[in-house]
Structure 1
Amino acid sequence: MVQRGRHRRRRRGRAVRAFLAGTALALTAAATMISASQATVSADPGAVKPLATAAETDVLRLHERLEPRSTLDRLAAGMGRPQGVRAVLADADHRLRDAADCSPADHEALPVEPAATRAYCFDEADTRSWRAGAVTTSGDADDDGLWGQDRVILSAWTEGSRGLARVAFIDATDQDRLTYSWVLLAVPVEGGRDFRALGSEVSGMVWYQDKLLVTAGDGLYVYDMNRVQRATVDAPQVGRVDGGWAAHGDRWVLPAVGSYRAGATHPDYLSLDRSTSPDSLVASDWVSEDDDRAVRLWRYDFAAGSDRTGLLATDPRGYTRVDEAYETAAPGVGAVLSYRANWYLARATDDDGGPGTLWRQNATGAEATECGTDETTRCWSSGTESLSYSEATGEVWSQAGRTLFALPLRSIDGSLG
């Protein structure tokens, strides 16, 4: 497949906050760079290798299963009228810290080179026992970068011991004051008479049009952003309880409206690519560095019909079509992003702590962001699982631990060796 770039007029984001280019982050980056410069340069993975045979791509297909309308209506009848994103943002009861108020450990999660131009962090008390996962924004949802009049960031978190997954709905319209509310991800059961927790880690998440696609152990779950429900009981349980409905103490719950079940392989990481026609969902799978199997990169087209907004294109039997697929020799990569024939792949550090590596690969070769006088490629954040690019602002958003950050895509390209 030949990708067709679509050039749109980009809207400028607000000016970069002064302190992000100032002393606090500069000192942190310098200290981290000393450690990074002592690392060896990562092996060059070379060009991506196309997967062209049916045997190679059929295992990547998904099968669509949408919840019956009666199930969704029964749940709404029991819980009350569904709400949208605006209602959740208006009910925000938490605030992200600005970079100047983040801890040294939060600063160490930032990339060395290129440097973040926006950075925020979650409060430790609000995320204790929760693990950060994927990020997506209203720049994925709509090409103007907004959802209605709001600029929104979604940050996923998982509590593995209880199978809980929740998403911070962050109001980023005022980028000097980011506020958020927690929304628990759920799955309807018993025909809509109850719901359960998602029960899966959220390593991948994309908000496209009015749907939110989320990774799960057996494929993807689909959520309708116009069907957020308010919990009516503040209790640690999930689902129907005496006196109403509980969401593990959160005020809001988002029940799934469908799923895409995988066969032999399921996506682990996701992002959106608006440079293809039609827009496409990008996916990759996790492969350990000790495994001989190559990491696979592939994409699905989104549906074009007005009756299937935010859903993937499927054949008459409900199977998705893999539009293109590749293998990469870069081991241990997590976050994936594709834009204009380039694949951006984030690789964690080999040991605990320290910077990781960000590769840009295409059909001709590979390059990594560099830092330090010895051209080391250990320059990226150590634990990112998600890359989300907004054409409207030109920014890539990511998350490592409690730290949420953004930087221009052009600065990534400019840092490549």
Structure 2
Amino acid sequence: MRHRGRHRRRRRGRALRAFLTGTALALTAAATMISASQATVTDGPGALKPLTASADTDALRLTEHPVPQSSLDRLAAEMGPPVGVGAVLGDADRTLRDAVDCTGAERRALPVTPAATRAYCWNTDDTRGWRPGAVTTSGDADDDGLWGARRVILSGWSRSAGPAADRGLARVAFVDAGRPNRLAYTWALLAVPVDGGRDYRGLVSHVSGMVWSQDKLLVTADDGDRAALYVYDVNRIQRATVTGEAVGRVPGGWSAHGHRYVLPAVASYRLGGGADAPHPATVSLDRSTTPDSLVAGEWTLDDGDRGARLWRYALDTAPGRAGLLAADGTGSVRATEAYRTELNGVRGVLAHGSSWYVTRAAAGDERRGTLWRQDADGAGVATCGSGDRHDCWSTGTESLSYWAATGEVWTQSGRVLFSLPLASIDRTAPRRAEQ
């Protein structure tokens, strides 16, 4: 298990400068994707509207449900001692393709403005039939940007094709990002212990939101499963012992749908706010608050008439609760801040300082998404072309993850994993005060 002392707040400027050294991607060809039909900036969403009424904040309440320690211990006793992130990365046997080796169709998923400075493409053979989702990094896990001595990216995917029994299964790619010119990865299946730890089932959910907070991985769960968030411990990764399509205990051992590793959930957070309770469809980590906080946003219809709710939960600072949400004695978790944006079609949400960064799906005659920056005073949008066009963001990013130690925002769209400086978003989406 990772020693707690290695979570100390530290900076390694020389290593980070080396990590960031390199030439920005030549993505000028992406500008040809701006079409004449692109919309112009008309009425923006304006300032965020604070939600302070008890009826609004009560709807955001979660209740924590730990998996009994006895169940986790029984599963580990049956499957063998758990392993950590280092062991998983040691088995990384696949590599992402650099941007220059991506196809033209894949590169069309990249934003026009602001431009990506790093981009990689997933292999077609092991992502066919899987839907990409959220991204989180060791920049979330520890504020020096490292897990031990490693730089790591986690990428969530869900099964979108194949036999009906397999659809919705969720998995995470563990990516060794220590060498920017060669990102190696391997997969682990997300699971939920059942029968008192005598077995496990696959998590059935699109992984649209994911945050790595210290040694915990918090993953959004949609209507395919039975919680708002599931919690995984990256020090409790189990090895599968049988290669096969089944999930769970099988004759001769344990199977994880062809994956070498499986993460059993250690807790879940369930909605407790009644019929109006929004599922947190996208989440990210905000290190600019004290304590760190989990930022959440709800999914809304692309062409609907209702804007999304955006809110945050504080991370716990109590001993023994690293990476978990701050809960009271009854396990209740309440939002510490909440807003409504007039934007619909919200996908990814990130907060840093006073700014909230919101990605929106394409709507109307727009062919690409938009990237907005909002706060309590106004809003701005990333523009491109002549300056009045704003549908120039990526086509399908569902999460945003800020690597504070490097100043980069990581996300993915289609088979493309990419990053860009947060400063470039601020430059291209200056906030305009509401009049």
TM-score range, shorter chain: over 0.9
Deviation of 1:341 (Å): 1.1
Correspondence for 1:173 among 175, 178, 200: 178
Correspondence for 1:302 among 295, 302, 315: 315
Unaligned runs of 5+ in 2: 1-8, 431-435
2 CA distance for matches of 1:206 and 1:36? 38
Match of 1:215 in 2: 220
Deviation of 1:21 (Å): 3.5
Match of 1:232 in 2: 241
SS at match of 2:70: helix
- Between the aligned residues of both structures, percent identity stands at 61
SS at match of 1:72: helix
Alignment of 1:361-376 (within 5 A): 361-376=374-389
- Over 3 Å counting, the alpha-carbon distance change for 1:415 and 1:10 in structure 2 is farther
SS at match of 2:356: strand
> What letter corresponds to residue 204 of structure 1 in structure 2?
G
Indicate yes or no: 2:158 matched with 1:158.
yes
- TM-score of the superposition, structure 1-length normalised? 0.94
CA contact (8 A) 1:96 1:121 kept: yes
Q: Give CA deviations for 1:82-107 in whole Å, capped at 9, x if unaligned.
A: 00000000001111000000011111
Deviation of 1:292 (Å): 3.4
Correspondence for 1:199 among 193, 204, 229: 204
Q: What is the count of residue pairs matched by the alignment?
A: 406
CA contact (8 A) 2:305 2:344 kept: no
- Over 3 Å counting, the alpha-carbon distance change for 1:158 and 1:367 in structure 2 is same
Q: Give CA deviations for 1:167-198 in whole Å, capped at 9, x if unaligned.
A: 00000011111000100000000000000010
SS at match of 1:308: coil
Match of 1:251 in 2: 260
Match of 2:76 in 1: 76
Indicate yes or no: 2:31 matched with 1:65.
no
Q: Give CA deviations for 1:193-235 in whole Å, capped at 9, x if unaligned.
A: 0000101111000000000000012310000000000100000
Deviation of 1:37 (Å): 7.0
> What letter corresponds to residue 188 of structure 1 in structure 2?
P
> What letter corresponds to residue 368 of structure 1 in structure 2?
V
CA contact (8 A) 1:335 1:384 kept: yes
Match of 1:4 in 2: none
CA contact (8 A) 1:41 1:378 kept: no
- Over 3 Å counting, the alpha-carbon distance change for 1:42 and 1:129 in structure 2 is farther
2 CA distance for matches of 1:210 and 1:45? 37
Match of 2:33 in 1: 32
Deviation of 1:17 (Å): 3.7
The alignment yields a C-alpha RMSD, in angstroms, of 1.7
- Over 3 Å counting, the alpha-carbon distance change for 1:399 and 1:352 in structure 2 is farther
2 CA distance for matches of 1:68 and 1:46? 46
- TM-score of the superposition, structure 2-length normalised? 0.90
SS at match of 1:125: coil
Match of 2:195 in 1: 190
Q: Give CA deviations for 1:377-414 in whole Å, capped at 9, x if unaligned.
A: 11110100010001100000010010000000001101
> What letter corresponds to residue 288 of structure 1 in structure 2?
L
CA contact (8 A) 1:285 1:296 kept: yes
Correspondence for 2:269 among 247, 252, 260: 260
SS at match of 1:83: coil
Indicate yes or no: 2:400 matched with 1:391.
no
Indicate yes or no: 2:356 matched with 1:343.
yes
Deviation of 1:293 (Å): 3.0
